[in-house]
Amino acid sequence: MPIILAIESSCDETSAAVIADGQLLSNITATQAVHTQYGGVVPELASRAHQQNVVPVVAEALRVAGISKQQLSAVAFTQGPGLLGALLVGSSFAKSLALGLNIPLLGVNHIQAHILSHFIEEPRPKFPFLCLTVSGGHTQIVQVNAPSDIKILGETQDDAVGEAFDKTAKLIGLPYPGGPLIDRYAKDGNPKAFAFPVVEMQHLDFSFSGIKTAFMYFLKDKSAEFIAENRNDICASVQYTLVEILMRKLRKAVRETGITEVAIAGGVSANSGLRNALTAEAEKRHWNIYVPRFEYCTDNAAMIAMTAHFLYQENKTVGQNASPMPRMTL
């Protein structure tokens, strides 16, 4: 029975998880509050915080799992994509531990892990399934034929949708990360109050840079009082626009592939507007939908551990010379 320790450090969460024979035993995450005051993740501060957090987070993950270091079969780490300095902390720690224990090392792709987060617990999607991965760094629709057979059907040509949420939030003075706040205020707003022009992209590709510009023009002649008074309606309208862009392409992907097993993954899949739109669509068109539990949507080591479990079965280990790949692709 393989027991794997997994470490995630690609951005601003230091996380460790233990998985035994595909069953998750623990998942511990330390979130870095230090970035809030700067309005975004500061790479150097992220690296330092990872350095401080990694040992206690790993110790806690092992303690909660009731597993000693000597019982581990392998150590997994996020190899990319992500911030180089942040990835270096997790990978160096994982390599040292694997070397000390003389056990194999597994390098995990963070995007593949978001997609395979659906296998942590029931209900698990059946192959082949479609997955819309939406995070601060990625917006992609993929067809998943097997854990390591993933085909990209469409992706963003510029900003990620999470970035679009965060950037528009910043423009109305909300702190970083603004996505969850837009979600919260949108609940009390009218999604049809304001309309923003949307550029239709070809095929299954996305573009989100235009909406930020459109939003900037919208705000240009608006007073601070107007923004404060209409905050909920503005948030609801922005969220509605972004969710519509995602849903339009998802419907197209289902039509083109004929696959009705539909999953969403990544930080933005925590968005309640997207969850509601997906649920409504599923009822109308008889899709089977899969939405991860909130803690498995945003960055976490449980999904890294789940992916490592598959890689271990496939014998896909990496050597001690493995290094972080900030621009790693699927």
What proportions of the chain, in percent to the nearest 5, are helix, strand and coil?
A: 50, 20, 30
Strand 74-80 relative to strand 139-146, pairing:
unpaired
Q: What are 34's two structure tokens?
A: 């230090």
Please, are residues 293 and 118 in contact by the beta-carbon 8 Å criterion? no
Does residue number 292 form part of the binding site for ligand KG4 (CB under 6 A)? no
**For residues 249-288, which are near ligand KG4 according to CB under 6 A?**
266-268, 270-271
Residue pointed to by tokens 């599923």: 282
Residue 14 labelled as part of a binding site:
no
Does residue number 183 form part of the binding site for ligand KG4 (CB under 6 A)? yes
Nearest residue by C-beta to ligand KG4? 267
Q: Which stretch binds ligand KG4 (CB under 6 A): 34-42, 94-102, 158-166, 225-233?
A: 158-166
Q: Which is nearer to ligand KG4, 135 or 241 (CB)?
A: 135
Q: Which is nearer to ligand KG4, 136 or 147 (CB)?
A: 136
Residue 317: phi and psi, rounded to 5, are -90, 165
Does residue number 324 form part of the binding site for ligand KG4 (CB under 6 A)? no
Residue 35 labelled as part of a binding site:
no
**For residues 20-39, which are near ligand KG4 according to CB under 6 A?**
none
Q: Which is nearer to ligand KG4, 66 or 175 (CB)?
A: 175
Residue 179 labelled as part of a binding site:
yes
Instruction: Say how far apart CA 85 and CA 95 lie, in whole Å.
Output: 15
Helices 231-257 + 272-285 axis angle, to 10: 40
Nearest distance from C-beta of residue 244 to Zn ion, angstroms: 23
Is residue 292 classed as helix, strand or coil in its secondary structure?
A: coil
Q: What are 250's two structure tokens?
A: 């998802």
Residue 110: phi and psi, rounded to 5, are -60, -35
Q: Which is nearer to ligand KG4, 144 or 270 (CB)?
A: 270
Give the interface with ligand KG4 as residue ranges (CB under 6 A): 11, 135-137, 162, 165-166, 177, 179-180, 183, 266-268, 270-271, 298-299
Binding residues for substrate: 133-137, 166, 179, 183, 271
